[in-house]
Amino acid sequence: MIHSKNGIHAIGLTGIRQTWNPSPARTIEIAICRGEGQLTAGGAFLAVTSPFTGRSPQDKFVVREPSSADKIWWGKVNQPLDPDKFEVLAQDVKAYLNTKELFIRDVYAGADPAYRLNVRLISESAWHTLFAYNQFIRPYPADLADFEPSFTILHAPEFHPDPQRHGTRKPAGGPTAVIALNFAQRLVIIAGTRYAGEIKKSIFTAMNYLLPLQGVFPMHCAANVGPAGDTALFFGLSGTGKTTLSADHNRSLIGDDEHGWSDAGVFNFEGGCYAKVIRLSKEAEPEIYATLSQFGTVLENVVMDPDTHQLDLDSEEITENTRAAYPIHFIPNFVATGTAGHPRNILFLTADAFGVLPPISKLTLEQAVYFFLSGYTAKLAGTERGVTEPQATFSTCFGAPFMVHFPTLYAEMLAERLNRHKCTVWLVNTGWSGGPYGVGHRIKIAYTRAMVTAALDGTLAAVPTRPDPVFGIHVPEHCPGVPSDVLQPRNTWTDKAAYDVKARELAAKFVENFAQFEAQVSPTVAEAGPRVRGGA
């Protein structure tokens, strides 16, 4: 265990005992002795986070303070918290943590040292510090002695805030929770929820605020690079396929979720992956599947046989949102530096619950900005509390819960880079075909992989395209390994008239949603969206 010289007394914390930066093996040993989880038959550590088994965006707040108030996109995503309420919350959480054994983990966020954030997690839970060790970039032991945090997370999953005292949400039923960010103090407080994803996403939110102020474009995307050095980005919300499609044995993985794009190229924010594993297939996703049997992997909410400790990856008994968190080097072909050059191809992933978007299409620059700001997909079951089946949603920048500035700032950064680096942008529907959710079926992953491969290796660039009559996006006429009918979604529907109705219905939702951005974008971008009155 390596103890930083820069302790935690300065922020009013001591705890009854402190454990600093223990090895993964020691952390697991401690966590099991404390009853925080169990070892699986394959050697991974398994924890259950009920009742919170997904992010809780309604419980996320940003402190409204002078240094950042005029830069924040205030509203449902960034709910304001009164500074005085935050101070009371911070005092109460510190007083609570001082009655506990504390586990401290020092890590980096950002593979490029020029834009790196030093993060200190202080938790009452040992296994959550292993999650952070897996997810973030691990400092060398020599770097830990003088580690100085530039952002600190106070993590008290068993402390439930008082809505009246702390200014947090009062839920209709169930326990209270809070995720509160104070940019002036460089402090995050996470309380009342064991779901580990809140740790990584709070720092992603911080990076989304800080990096644009330094001229760096922060992105909710996966990234990989081909043998020829061609970088590809995969934008999309949780469950749309970022982790799955970026883990390609023919390409090297830079990261599966969060990246920055600077003048030097692309860099990963993290040092690990956080994969959904419900119904994970050894045949379809062998690299991710193999991580489930590696010592050091952290599993969340996966069902396990109480006797044999074998996993049941098909079970939704706890949640649909079962997860595996593992260091990126558990994937065989990873990029050790976490960095790569400027992207050649960019893919927007969407799980279309209406079943009307083509499985792949090419976008103009204006369409790319339009679809980026729209961020259409379906929220998949379990990703957020209360979501039990896919729901059509628009999550701007393919990551609204984590955007801090007004969305058009991120869109302008994207457009400038697309224009400067001449990137090709593709819209990939990993959702439904042959009908909407409940009638049609998910597009086969083998087809999606074939289309993505053809896009990245340049094959699709030479294929003629046909504009979709409603959405205007450019659909390739053929693709190796994919039946032609699959490329045209209307052809997969038995009832063509029903398709026409559903396509216009979705187009109307796009137009309604985009109205909030029309005054801030150019007319060419506003006009790049679907035609509501279009027909097939």
Among 138, 155, 220, 509, the one annotated catalytic: 220
Q: Is residue 31 part of a domain?
A: yes
Residue 106 among the catalytic residues: no
Q: Is residue 40 part of a domain?
A: no
Q: Which two tokens stand for residue 126?
A: 């040992």
Among 243, 246, 395, 492, the one annotated catalytic: 243
Q: Under a CB-based contact definition with an 8 Å cutoff, are residues 44 and 134 in contact?
A: no
Among 251, 323, 344, 504, the one annotated catalytic: 323
Residues 348 and 395 in one domain: yes
Res. 380 pLDDT band, cuts 50 70 90:
low
Q: Under a CB-based contact definition with an 8 Å cutoff, are residues 41 and 308 in contact?
A: yes
What CATH number should be reported for the domain holding residue 93?
Answer: 3.40.449.10
Q: What percent of the chain has pLDDT over 90?
A: 90
Q: What percent of the chain has pLDDT over 70?
A: 96
Residues 348 and 250 in one domain: yes
- Answer yes or no: is 4 a known binding residue: no
Residue 220 among the catalytic residues: yes
Among 59, 256, 257, 468, the one annotated catalytic: 257
- Answer yes or no: is 238 a known binding residue: yes
Residues 448 and 519 in one domain: yes
CA angle 180–185–188, rounded 5-degree value: 30
Q: Which residues pair with 427 in a beta bridge?
A: 348, 361
Q: Which two tokens stand for residue 275?
A: 């994969």
Q: Residue 469 pLDDT more than 50?
A: yes
Last residue of a domain, one of 302, 330, 358: 330
Q: Under a CB-based contact definition with an 8 Å cutoff, are residues 428 and 360 in contact?
A: yes
pLDDT tens-place string over residues 167-221: 999 998 889 999 999 999 999 999 999 999 999 999 999 999 999 999 999 999 9
Residues 18 and 147 in one domain: yes
How confident is the model at residue 536, as a pLDDT? 41
Among 60, 201, 362, 379, the one annotated catalytic: 201
pLDDT tens-place string over residues 59-73: 999 999 999 999 999
Number of CB atoms found within 10 A of residue 204's CB? 21
Residues 261 and 402 in one domain: yes
Among 202, 238, 262, 291, the one annotated catalytic: 238
Q: Is residue 429 part of a domain?
A: yes
Res. 390 pLDDT band, cuts 50 70 90:
low
Residues 109 and 185 in one domain: yes
Give the whole-angstrom CA distance, residue 131 versus residue 273: 10
Residues 371 and 342 in one domain: yes
Number of domains the chain is built from: 3
pLDDT tens-place string over residues 322-336: 999 999 999 999 999
Q: Is residue 484 part of a domain?
A: yes
SS3 59: helix
- Answer yes or no: is 115 a known binding residue: no
Last residue of a domain, one of 330, 347, 372: 330
Mean pLDDT of the 493-500 span: 96
Q: Which of 372, 427, 397, 421 is nearest to 231 (CA)?
A: 421
- Answer yes or no: is 448 a known binding residue: yes
SS3 393: strand
Residue 17 among the catalytic residues: no
Mean pLDDT of the 335-346 span: 98
Res. 379 pLDDT band, cuts 50 70 90:
low
pLDDT tens-place string over residues 126-158: 999 999 999 999 999 999 999 999 999 999 999
Q: Under a CB-based contact definition with an 8 Å cutoff, are residues 119 and 201 in contact?
A: no
Q: Residue 439 pLDDT more than 60?
A: yes
Give the whole-angstrom CA distance, residue 311 versus residue 47: 13
Q: Which of 108, 182, 109 is nearest to 147 (CA)?
A: 108
CA distances from 108 to 67, 144, 219, 272, 475 (A): 24, 11, 17, 12, 41
Residue 449 among the catalytic residues: no
Residues 266 and 277 in one domain: no
The DSSP string of 401-421 is GG--S-HHHHHHHHHHHHHHH
Q: Residue 34 pLDDT more than 70?
A: yes
Mean pLDDT of the 268-281 span: 95
Residue 468 among the catalytic residues: no
* 416: containing domain: 217-271+337-526
Q: Pairing state of beta strands 298-300 and 360-363?
A: unpaired
What CATH number should be reported for the domain holding residue 246?
Answer: 3.90.228.20
Q: Is residue 85 part of a domain?
A: yes
How confident is the model at residue 272, as a pLDDT? 96
Mean pLDDT of the 410-425 span: 98
Residues 490 and 398 in one domain: yes
Q: How many helices (H) and strands (E) does the chain have?
A: 15, 30
Q: Is residue 536 part of a domain?
A: no
Last residue of a domain, one of 330, 345, 363: 330
Residues 237 and 315 in one domain: no
Among 4, 19, 55, 92, the one annotated catalytic: 55
Name the average pLDDT for the chain.
Answer: 94
Residue 55 among the catalytic residues: yes
HSE-CB for 9 with a 13 A CA cutoff: 5
- Answer yes or no: is 244 a known binding residue: yes
Q: Is residue 297 part of a domain?
A: yes
How confident is the model at residue 238, as a pLDDT? 77
CA distances from 244 to 93, 193, 282, 371, 446 (A): 38, 27, 12, 22, 11
Q: Is residue 4 part of a domain?
A: no
- Answer yes or no: is 291 a known binding residue: no
The DSSP string of 146-211 is T---SEEEEEETT----HHHH-----SSS---EEEEETTTTEEEEES---THHHHHHHHHHHHHHG
- Answer yes or no: is 152 a known binding residue: no
What CATH number should be reported for the domain holding residue 299?
Answer: 2.170.8.10
How confident is the model at residue 535, as a pLDDT? 43
* Residue with tokens 């956080």, as numbered in its chain: 274
Residue 246 among the catalytic residues: no
Residue 5 among the catalytic residues: no
Number of CB atoms found within 10 A of residue 19's CB? 18
Question: How many residues does this entry show for the chain?
Answer: 536
How confident is the model at residue 1, as a pLDDT? 59
Mean pLDDT of the 239-267 span: 93
Residues 474 and 442 in one domain: yes
SS3 track for 336-385: CCCEECCEEEEEEEECCCCCCCCCEEEECHHHHHHHHHHCEEEECCCCEC
Residues 95 and 223 in one domain: no
Within 238-320, strands assigned E span 252-255, 258-262, 265-268, 272-276, 298-300, 303-304, 311-312
